[in-house]
Every structure is written in structure tokens, then in C-alpha cells.
Structure 1
Amino acid sequence: MHYHPKELTTQEIEYFAQLTDVNHLQEAVQRIARKRNVNGIGHKYIRRYIKQSLKKLDWLVQEDTFVTDNPVVGKVRLHNIIAKLTPHANRYLMLGCHYDGKGYKKTTGSAISCALLLNIAHVLQKELKKISPRPWDISLMLVFFDGKEAIGSRDNILQGSYHLVRRWTRNGFINNIDMFLPIDFYETQDIHFPHMIVSTVIWYLRLRQLENLLYHKRTKYFQAIIRELPERNDHMPFHALRLPVLPLITIPKALSLKNISKKVDYTAIEQVSKVLRLFVLEYLQVSSKQKSGGNDGQVVLYPCLGLILTLLAVTSLWLA
């Protein structure tokens, strides 16, 4: 890891934790949770909705459009959506999810993940405007992948993420990604985000620590559980290049559309969203007071301690 964010102070955590808009989150889930088979009406509607939502917040929104030759259904046009908070930053914290759906079913599927990313941008819009990066500064990027689900056959998956990695590898932009947080949030009765990659365990523990600071007496979703990395997810091409990847993936069990209003636990989703919002602000070094110079009493996460911290982190996960 080549970037060293500072931990938020207790006062900043308390201040930023007050920023919330659950109504926006709920509306976004309802808007996205529809039939979204590739190039269908719902798929086009969701792509337009995501782009318009971020353009209204003054993000630079681009489409990575490409055609894949599918052996079963022929040529298929796919569209990744890339949204940058600031267009010319040299490094990006990247959050991503897929927005296409599986088959013709109406489910939450990736709807919660997409809504969560849009909600982060919406809730933090004033705070994120404090970032005015020079060429060497860090910024935020949201990516919504297309073609994650199987098209035509079970093996035609992850086409959007693999295409984007190939493109960014050719033009060198892949080196501008500091860390990638792929989010695959399925609504279940037992939500949890297990730890999956040892190299990013320090960042996982920071998410867990932030959740403990915010919610001492409530159910925790960043639990001390270690699970094998799933093979069929958009992190794969990035992880293969040894980029820092921190997967946030729950148990894959989506709700049908008729059950969304009754069974989606927006309290749980907001809890996870709030933890992620604090993580983003901390990583981007957004201060509630916009102080400059010095450490202001904050802790800097130095990579020279990486080996020791990683060993301690792994030990704490097993013992917790």
C-alpha cells in the first residue's frame, strides 16, 4: 500500500456519523430492484438512473461501452459506468459493484450494492466537495460493472470487469487505483461481511473498528470470520494483478421483488453504509474542520508497520 490515510478523530466520527439519508437509500433500492437482464428495458433504465444521479452531484460520468461475441446469443453490447469525483487525480480509492441482473427475475440482487454507492455519494456530497486534488492527490471513483452475470451460458461472466482491467492495463490507468472495494450486498437474515484477503486485513479491521465505535451494543456486520474468496466476482481480474482488494461480499441470497418492502432491513444497510462513509472520508483525509498541516493528533497508518500489523490482525481475527 502506497498511501497513508489518517484516522478520524472521535469528534470527527461523531460529526460525520450524523450525516444520513435513509429515505434516499430506500428510494434508490426500489428504483434499481427490477428486471435488469442485459440490454433489456430495466437494464437501460438503471444505467440511465445511475448516470443521472451522479451527474446531478457534479461527478464526471463516463461509459466504457464494448461489444462481446457470445457463442450462445451472438454479439452483446455491454456498458460499464465509471464515475470520478474529480477527473484528474493521480490515485483513486475505487468502490464498485455490478448493476446487471441474473435472468429475468425481479430481485434485490445488486440493487442494494448500487443503491449503497449512490447513497454514499449523495450523503457525502458537501464533504466530498472539500476535495480539490492536485495531480498527486487522491480522490474517489465509483464503478458499476456490466456483464457480471452469466449471458447465454454459465461461463460467460465477469465480462465488464475483465474488459475494464484489460483497457486500464493497456493505457496504464490501472496503476492509479490505490485500493478496490468490490461490494456485493445481498439482503439475508444473517448479514455479515467476512474477511477474505490477508493483504488487506488491516483495512478490514479498520472497518470493524469503526463499526464498534459507532454501534457498541448493536449487531455487528463486520465480524471476525474468515472465508475463502469467491471465484465468480468482479474482484477477480484486479486481484490477479495483485492490486489491493478489500471484498465486501455477503452470503448470496437475494430477495424477490414482492418481498422487498417487507424484508429489506434498511437499518442494517444504513449501518453498513455509515461505516463505509466514515472509511471513505478517512481514506480521503476529509476533515470536518478542514485543518491543514501537521497530524492534528491523528494517527497515521504507516506501511512500514505493515508486516507486524498484519500478523497481529490475523491473530486477532482468529481469537475474536
Structure 2
Amino acid sequence: MAIAKTNLFLSFSLFLAFNNFVTLAKLPDYALSLAKLNDDNHLEYALSKILIPRVVGSSGHRKVQDFLISELESYGLTVELDRFSERAPIFGNLTFTNIIGKYNPNADEFLAIACHYDSKYFPNNPNFVGAIDSAVPCAIMLNVAKIITPHLSKIKQKSNLGILYIFFDGEEAFKDWSNKDSVYGSRHLAKKMSEKVTATQGTNEIKSDIDRIEVLALLDLIGARNSKFRNFFPNTEALHSLLVNIERNLFDEKQLEGKNFQFLASYSDNFVDDDHRPFLRRDVPILHLISTPFPKQWHKPSDNAANLHWPSIRNFNKVFRLFTYIFVFVHDENVNFRFKNLNANW
């Protein structure tokens, strides 16, 4: 009963904070205009550069790393590298590099958008490319950043909010998934951000970098046919509902392909372990956008370009692009999404 009451309170608070966007009957003109600013050629180009074997330490991994850095810099973002070494099963000591593209890097608070860019190591399948896992999420993040960054400059007076585009390294286990053999990059970055403490410019408040993240939106397993995205955390329910509402509105405006809704207005209490784990343990609010049930090609040789469903990719990309822009556009003051979910099995 206590959990249910708290969830209702948080949903109502966030409903107010986002100026009724959760139940908006019609998207405003500026949002519809942004929905039409597609750059599918760039989306396909970005994916082609990422969709190669990219196991940590390989030449493909370095190529993708260089491409991500170059792209983020070309959008005018400030790029920061979090490079470190750690021992891993099979390979021994490896160098990992998290890549962070920052929009408005001196902001007091941040919307963090993340995915992982490494591909899984399979000893019997060295050509595994991990299309949905997670080349497509990487390409979507780049495409979103490329399209919305010039438009965000029009509302840059909202200096209290920035965006972090985080490309985690080493999400995949090298042998067997465990707390130690998985999410290498996010574990390192979460620890680093929790230890770095500075004063905010707006309020001169002393906060760690991790406490300046309002929400971490993690993208994973995107691009398969009939993918479904549910809400996993009660404190970000309003944000998931915003995605649901944007998708329904775009469908009504005939801005989406097909008739398949990907964002469901349903809650799942199943914890899916992923790069958000180290941030969740430090009370960072999480919006986990992962397809459940997992697509049939997950961790199989069939997770390749031939089995991608491009209408689903383009639709997800458009919905998430509007979500990101609206989050910044309506953000007049810092919103506290933090809430200890006592039922989370992590």
C-alpha cells in the first residue's frame, strides 16, 4: 500500500512538472515540425559504421570508438573520454573507454542518454555484429544528437539543464554474466561520477556529478520486428507515459510507419540487468528502454543487418527524438525523480 501511494504521488508531481504533456491530446506545432526533420540517410550511414565486430580491444572496436568521437565532435558537443584498464576473463588486462558527448556541459543538471557500443565475444563466431545489441541504439543516439542540437540552441537559456550522450564500453560479459564480468564501463563511470564533487553554477550547491543526473535513459535491444517497451520503475512512470503519448500522437498525425505500437502503457516488475545497474545502486532515476521479451535474435548469429526491421527503427528514433527535445523544452526547473524503489531486485 505504501508503494502504491508513493507511486501515485510521484506520477502526479511529474505530471505537473511536465506541464500536462503526459496526457496531451495533441502535440504542439514545434514538436510536429521536429518530427518531420528526419535524416534517415545519416541514420543508415551511422549504423553502417558501427555494425562491425567490435569486441573490446579489437581493431573494429577502435574504429567504432574513433567514429563515435568524430561524430559527436562534429555536432559541436564537448567530448570526454573515461579510459581505464581492468582484467577480464579470457583476455586478461583490457583497456576500456567510455565516450561522453556533452550538450551544455556546464549545466547544473543533466538528462543522460546511454547505450553500449561494444559487441559480445563469441569464440566460435568472430563475425558477430550485435545489430540490435547495440549498434542500432548507438546510431539512434547519434542521429538524435545531430538533429536536435541546432534546435536546442534556441532554448539554451535553460542553462540549468544539459544532455549527456553516454556510450558505455564493456557491457557484455566475456565469459559468464556476473556482477564482475559485465557492465565494465558503467561500473567505472558511475563510481567516477559519484566521487567527483563540484559546486553548481546556478545555486552554488555542492553535488557529485552522478547526483546531477536527473534521469538516465538507457537504450538496448532496439530494431527487431514487434519490439515492445514497458515501464520498469515507478519513479519514471510519467516519462514512460510521455513516450507512449508521443507515439500515439505521431500515429494520429500519420507520422509513423505501420500500425505497431512499441511503447506500452504497462508496468513490469522484472529487473533486467544492464548498464543502468551501477547508477541505480546510487539512486539515479532510470528509464530503461529495452525490448521485452528479448527479440529472438538476441546473442545469436542472426542479430545482423538482414534481420533489422527498419520501420520500427525509424519510428523509435522519431518518438525518442521528440521525447528528448520536449524534456529540455518544458524543463523550467530541476525535477527530482529520485525515489528508492524498495522492491527493486538489484
- What TM-score does the superposition give when structure 2 sets the normalisation length? 0.77
From 111, 114, 118, give the equivalent of 2:142. 118
Bigger fraction of residues in strand = 2
Alignment of 1:28-107 (within 5 A): 28-70=46-88, 72-103=90-121, 104=126, 105-107=128-130
1:275 aligns with 2:319: yes
Given the superposition, is the C-alpha separation of residues 173 and 110 from structure 1 closer, same or farther in structure 2, using an over 3 Å criterion? same
Deviation per residue, 1:218-244 (Å, 9 max, x gap): 211001343344443011111122221
Does residue 145 (structure 1) correspond to residue 168 (structure 2)? The answer is yes
Shift in Å, 1:284: 0.6
- Decide whether the 8 Å contact of 2:225 with 2:308 is kept in 1: no
Provide the residue aligned with 2:151 in structure 1.
127
**Does the 8 Å CA contact 1:128/1:286 hold for their aligned counterparts?**
no
Change in Cα spacing, 1:199 to 1:286, as seen in structure 2 (3 Å) is: closer
1:263 is matched with which residue?
307
Amino acid corresponding to residue 191 of structure 1 in structure 2:
S
Counterpart for residue 214 of structure 1: 250
Q: Is the 8 A contact 2:57 2:95 kept in 1?
A: yes
2:199 counterpart residue number: none
Given that residues 160 and 334 in structure 2 are in contact (C-alpha distance below 8 angstroms), is that contact kept between their aligned partners in structure 1? no
Deviation at 1:107, TM superposition (A): 3.0
Question: Residue 214 of structure 2 contacts residue 336 of structure 2 at CA under 8 Å; is this kept in 1?
Answer: no
Structure 2 counterpart of 1:235, which letter? H
Q: What is the CA distance between 1:258 and its match in structure 2?
A: 8.9
Q: Distance in 2 between matches of 1:257 and 1:186?
A: 14
Match among 187, 192, 203 for residue 162 of structure 1:
187
User: How far off is 1:139 after superposition?
Assistant: 1.3
Flag structure 2 segments of 5+ consecutive residues without an equivalent. Answer: 1-9, 197-207, 340-346
User: Does structure 1 retain, via aligned residues, the 8 Å contact 2:129–2:304?
Assistant: no
Pick aligned residue for 1:13 from 13, 31, 34: 31
Counterparts of 1:286 and 1:270 in 2: how far apart (Å)? 24
Letter in 1 for 2:307: K
Whether the aligned pair in 2 keeps the contact of 1:5 and 1:285 (CA below 8 Å) is no
- Distance across 2 between alignment mates of 1:123 and 1:266: 19
Residue 233 (structure 2) aligns with: 197
Q: Does the CA contact (< 8 Å) of 2:112 and 2:213 recur in 1?
A: yes
User: Partners of 1:83 and 1:303 in 2: how far apart?
Assistant: 23
Counterpart in the other structure of 2:223: 187
**In structure 2, how many angstroms separate the alpha carbons of the residues matched to 1:238 and 1:106?**
27
Deviations 1:17-47 (A, max 9, x none): 1111111111111211110110101110111
Separation of aligned partners in 1, 2:279 and 2:220: 15
3-state secondary structure, aligned to 1:144: strand
Give the whole-Å Cα distance in 1 for the aligned partners of 2:303 and 2:156: 43
- Rounded Cα–Cα distance in structure 2 between residues aligned with 1:257 and 1:231: 22
Deviation at 1:179, TM superposition (A): 0.6
Moved more, 16-25 or 246-255: 246-255
Q: Secondary structure at the match of 1:223?
A: strand
- Displacement after TM superposition at 1:87 (Å): 1.6
CA apart distance, 1:280: 1.1
State the alpha-carbon separation in 2 of the partners of residues 283 and 12 from structure 1.
13
How many residue pairs end up in the alignment?
A: 293
Q: Any conservation in 1 of the 2:223–2:312 contact (CA below 8 Å)?
A: no
Offset of residue 122 of structure 1? 1.3
Asked if structure 2 preserves the Cα contact closer than 8 Å seen for 1:165 and 1:174, the reply is yes
Q: State the TM-score, normalized to the length of structure 1.
A: 0.83
2:265 alignment partner in structure 1: 224
Residue among 280, 290, 296 paired with 1:249? 290
Inter-partner Cα distance in structure 1 for 2:302 and 2:61 = 15
Question: Residue 224 of structure 1 aligns to a residue in which SS?
Answer: strand
State how far apart, in whole Å, the 2-side matches of 1:187 and 1:277 are. Answer: 16
Q: Measure, in 2, the Cα distance between the counterparts of 1:162 and 1:97.
A: 14
Cα RMSD of the aligned pairs, angstroms, is 2.9
> Relative to structure 1, is the Cα distance of residues 66 and 229 closer, same or farther in structure 2, using a 3 angstrom cutoff?
farther
CA distance in 1, matches of 2:273, 2:176: 14
